[in-house]
Amino acid sequence: MRKPKVVVIGGGTGLSVLLRGLKLEPVDITAIVTVADDGGSSGRLRDELHMPPPGDIRNVLVALADTEPLLESLLQHRFHNGNGLAGHSIGNLLIAALTEISGDFVTAVEQLSKVLAVRGRVLPAANQAVVLNAKMEDGTVVSGESLIPKSGKKIKRVFIDQENVEGLDDAIQALTEADLIAIGPGSLYTSILPNLLVPGIVEAIRNSSAVKVFICNVMTQPGETDGFSVADHIQAIHDHVGNSLFNYVIINNGEVTPQLREKYAVEGSTPVYYYQEEMIRYPYKIIADDFLICYDDYLRHNAIRISRTLRRLIGVGT
């Protein structure tokens, strides 16, 4: 029997967390990952080797891999010393090496996927690295994904330099053939929107007959979504790529403990609140539940619960 095809779009920690739960479901997974990262190890490899940034791809590969814990630790290990090595993760260097050997970034990711027995397919959103820019409320422009949240200014909109940038053909095809498309969770302006701004991606989502779901973040992100509600997240997407992109919005209505509120407040982060009166103007069906789970004093989406919710939306199991 054919497994339903689920495409998940995003980047960063949020996407990796979701995929760890989704890979346990009887579905065929494709993860479409941002290539806008320009900081840290990924940024250095991007600049020095003229390749797409591997960091988000690496995290997704590890999340979907069927590997021993030791191998996962090895891939995520980051060198602390060494001239030129300090700051690099082994997984990033492996992807860089395979890119140089094969001559193609997508081929390199496919080869490493086989080595790691990845349960699904991992694809970059674009055929090359993209440069993310942000126009701020005061009219200034900040260039570079890693610098945008650090600017100390409110974001008005983000945009990419689109010269020669196209949606990856395989990513477009996966969206076209999907039974369900899930967007998020992840950093709104620096993980989610960079994917949607790649030419061809939003058009493929709109034209797909799939069930389309937006998974909203549980906490705001300092420098990006300070004070944002669920409706603010939705409106930002509408302002960038138009409305009616989803059928459902998944939101958390679980309570954040006072201790965790205090912890996150120090970092400038607060819960993303759902106000029913704000969402009335949007044509989306709301799925609200306690989707929170805490790992080592960090709040994350409960990947198992969300994955089961997605499964039910396409009629797989109960």
Is residue 174 within 8 Å of residue 247, measured between CB atoms? no
pLDDT band at 318 (very low <50, low <70, confident <90, very high): very low
Are the C-beta atoms of 260 and 294 separated by less than 8 Å? yes
Res 162 pLDDT > 80: no
pLDDT score of 298: 84
Query: Does residue 91 belong to any structural domain of this protein?
Result: no
Query: How far is it, in rounded angstroms, from Cα 100 to Cα 108?
Result: 8
Classify residue 21: in a domain, yes or no: yes
Confidence of residue 219 (pLDDT cuts 50, 70, 90): very high
Q: 26-67: per-residue pLDDT in tens? A: 999 999 999 999 988 999 999 999 999 999 999 999 999 987
In a domain, 4, yes or no: yes
Higher pLDDT, 87 or 93: 93
60 part of a folded domain: no
Of 87-91, 153-157, 307-311, the one with minimum mean pLDDT is 87-91
Query: What's the mean pLDDT in 110-124?
Result: 94
C-alpha span between 187 and 277 (Å, rounded): 25
Q: What is the mean pLDDT of residues 183-191?
A: 94
Does the residue 3 lie in any domain?
Answer: yes
Note the pLDDT of residue 127.
Answer: 82
Please report the pLDDT score of residue 2 as a whole number: 84
What is the pLDDT at residue 316? 66
Residue ranges making up the domain that contains 248? 1-35+178-318
For residue 232, pLDDT beyond 80: yes
Residue 317 pLDDT? 56
Query: In this structure, is residue 76 part of a structural domain?
Result: no
Residue 83 has pLDDT above 90, yes or no: no
Mean pLDDT of the chain: 93
Phi, psi of 78 (to 5 degrees): -115, 130
d(CA 195, CA 190): 9
Say if residue 120's pLDDT is above 50. Answer: yes
Q: 118 or 85: which carries more pLDDT confidence?
A: 118
Is 215 within a domain?
Answer: yes
> Considering the domain boundaries, does residue 88 fall inside one?
no
pLDDT above 80: residue 124: yes
Q: Which residues lie below 8 Å from residue 66, measured CB to CB, with a gap of 6+? A: 116, 117, 118, 119
Domain total of the chain? 1
Q: What is the CATH number of the domain that holds 230?
A: 3.40.50.10680
